[in-house]
Amino acid sequence: MNKIYMKMHKPERHSTKSTIETLFIFDFDDTLASTSAEIGVQGLLGCGSMDPGFGHWLEEQNILYHRITKPKTNPFYWMSSANFALYESYHKHYNINDYIIDYSRVGSTKSLEISPIERMINYFREAQAEDSSETIILTARSASKIAYSPALGKTIDCNNKKLIQDFLKVQGISFPIRKIYAVGDSNVHSSVAKAKVVLDHICALSPRDILFFDDNILNLEAVDALNHIPLNTRITTYQVYDEGKIKKFTQD
């Protein structure tokens, strides 16, 4: 991917022979596509009961939510994936375990609007065309074909991998579903689960370089931290923001 390398960095050559030269890893939401998907969040108190001040706290942090699911005894605050990522970025200041998440409006195709982030779609095409490389999609969406909605108290149909594959097909990109990794069902935080997938690919493929594209700070932090492990792979992380702008991520 000459264009991407010229724009971002010139990789150093390593003496270690690798199975592939470069592994390109793309997030989906707010990286390859903008969607109308919403994530529901209900704040809890330490005792496990609903936090009546949760909405006020969100407003104080400038975390935007679109609406509140009623009844008042079971309120869920629905926000975009970008605002949910902002919410999670406050994990050092707010107990991240004290909430319930509803992903039921993420994987359902009913009334879901999806539009490509053109610059990133072009990068994705270039990555696929690059010799001696591998490209995968790594999303925090669920891999399950059904999702339980705690707001509604029932399960709904969803198929995130197929949704992503069909979206790419509309963009003229044929992409195998086996290369779409969805970690939303993991019993650890999605940032940790993403880092594990990256590490598994390093062990399996021994790439010389990894280029990782994501909008979520926690995901970027977790994957970038793998550089502290003695590996022959160099990982470069890029934050995607404002509909396709890219900047190299640093822990600072």
Both 139 and 29 in one domain: the answer is yes
In the predicted model, is pLDDT for residue 193 greater than 90?
A: yes
The reply to whether 17 falls in a domain is yes
The reply to whether 243 falls in a domain is yes
The reply to whether 221 falls in a domain is yes
Both 11 and 134 in one domain: the answer is yes
Q: In which domain, by residue range, is 225 found?
A: 2-34+112-147+159-248
CATH number at residue 58: 3.30.70
Residues 113-152 pLDDT 10s: 899 999 999 999 999 999 999 999 999 998 888 888 898 8
The reply to whether 30 falls in a domain is yes
Percentage, residues of the chain above pLDDT 90:
55
Both 24 and 44 in one domain: the answer is no
- For the segment 89-104, the average pLDDT, to the nearest whole number, is 71
- For the segment 7-13, the average pLDDT, to the nearest whole number, is 48
Both 142 and 204 in one domain: the answer is yes
> Cβ–Cβ contacts within 10 Å for residue 104, how many?
24
Both 92 and 129 in one domain: the answer is no
Both 84 and 168 in one domain: the answer is no
Residues 11-55 pLDDT 10s: 444 434 456 999 999 999 999 999 888 899 998 887 778 888 899
- For the segment 189-209, the average pLDDT, to the nearest whole number, is 96
Residue 30 is predicted with a pLDDT of 93
CATH number at residue 120: 3.40.50.1000
In the predicted model, is pLDDT for residue 6 greater than 80?
A: no
Q: Kindly report the average pLDDT of the chain as a whole number.
A: 87
The reply to whether 152 falls in a domain is no
Both 137 and 30 in one domain: the answer is yes
Q: How confident is the model at residue 7 (pLDDT cuts 50, 70, 90)?
A: very low
The reply to whether 231 falls in a domain is yes
Both 86 and 21 in one domain: the answer is no
The reply to whether 117 falls in a domain is yes
Find, among 211, 190, 189, 151, the residue nearest to 11 by Cα. 211
The reply to whether 91 falls in a domain is yes
Both 97 and 129 in one domain: the answer is no
Both 140 and 16 in one domain: the answer is yes
Query: Which pTM was predicted?
Result: 0.84
Residue 213 is predicted with a pLDDT of 98
Both 52 and 18 in one domain: the answer is no
d(CA 124, CA 116): 11
Range of weakest confidence among 95-99, 120-124, 224-228 = 95-99
Both 43 and 77 in one domain: the answer is yes
Number of structural domains in the chain: 2
Percentage, residues of the chain above pLDDT 70:
87
In the predicted model, is pLDDT for residue 4 greater than 60?
A: no
